[in-house]
Amino acid sequence: MKFTNFFKNNTRMTTENKLNDEIVDPTPIENNTDALDAAIEERVEEISREEQLSQDLASEKDKFIRLFAEFENYKRRTAKERIELFKTANQDVLLSLLPVLDDFDRALSEIKKTDDNILIQGVELIQEKLKNTLVSKGLEQVDINAGDTFDVDFAEAITQIPAPSPEMKGKIVDVIEKGYKLGDKIIRFPKVVIGN
């Protein structure tokens, strides 16, 4: 019997010890809640930082794309300006040579009135050489002839005369001075007489 009582007492003590061990101290639970709150707060801050970094990245990417587009437009614009400059760089020189070309035309028409074929051939060769040099630099003659309809965009009317025939009314009667263009730009308009 004593043995059974001992066993019962021992078992009771072991059970009480177990119950005492299982009782949880309230302070660690509060510490765990604080730790959990701190972890949640830290995670929220991390997400907030990630969102901020994502917004900053998107902003920088947008700035980069805009800057790249602006640079591409700048390159296109300067290339176009450069091409225009090359096309018209000779304009002043060519304009100053046009009166010389006109003088050659007048001289040739007067020399053709003589019978000196060698002189005519010599002047024609020089005139052709000058014309070819100017054409190689981009100069083109504006194609306007007597009988064409007068267009203000391509010719300059010096005067009006009575039309020699009814169909010549409003048309070019005579071309006084030839016109020239450099590329697509007219640098000297032809001077014409129109029928009234």
- What CATH number does residue 146 fall under? 2.30.22.10
Integer Cα distance of 141 and 41 in angstroms: 82
Q: Are residues 72 and 40 in the same domain?
A: yes
Integer Cα distance of 146 and 193 in angstroms: 9
DSSP three-state, residue 164: coil
Q: Are residues 145 and 195 in the same domain?
A: yes
Q: Are residues 7 and 67 in the same domain?
A: yes
Q: Are residues 156 and 126 in the same domain?
A: no
Q: Are residues 152 and 131 in the same domain?
A: no
Range of the domain at 7: 2-87
131 within 8 A of 149, measured Cβ to Cβ? no
List CB contacts of 170: < 8 A, sequence separation 6 or more: 149, 150, 163, 194, 195
Q: Are residues 109 and 172 in the same domain?
A: no
Q: Are residues 8 and 70 in the same domain?
A: yes
Q: Are residues 82 and 18 in the same domain?
A: yes
For the stretch 33-82, pLDDT in tens is: 888 888 888 888 998 899 999 999 999 999 999 999 999 999 999 999 88
Q: Which pLDDT does position 70 carry in this prediction?
A: 95
156-170: burial string, b at 16+ Cβ within 10 Å, e else: eeeeeeeeeeeebee
Q: Are residues 56 and 123 in the same domain?
A: no
Point out the domain boundary residue: 53, 87, 121: 87
Q: Which pLDDT does position 11 carry in this prediction?
A: 53
- pTM score, whole prediction: 0.55
Q: Are residues 9 and 55 in the same domain?
A: yes
Q: Are residues 101 and 120 in the same domain?
A: yes
Q: Which pLDDT does position 36 carry in this prediction?
A: 84
Integer Cα distance of 126 and 107 in angstroms: 12
Point out the domain boundary residue: 121, 137, 153: 137
Name the residue among 171, 153, 149 with its Cα closest to residue 162: 171
- Residues in the chain where the model's pLDDT stays below 70: 1-31
Point out the domain boundary residue: 120, 137, 154: 137
DSSP three-state, residue 183: coil
Q: Which pLDDT does position 9 carry in this prediction?
A: 53
CA distances (Å), origin 178, targets 78, 155, 163: 34, 9, 21
Q: Which pLDDT does position 66 carry in this prediction?
A: 94
94 within 8 A of 139, measured Cβ to Cβ? yes
**How many domains are contained in the chain?**
3
Query: CA angle, 185 as apex, 183 and 188 as ends, to 5°?
Result: 110
CA distances (Å), origin 52, targets 57, 70, 178: 8, 27, 71
User: Which residues face 171 on adjacent strands?
Assistant: 149
Q: Are residues 75 and 147 in the same domain?
A: no
Q: Which pLDDT does position 98 carry in this prediction?
A: 92
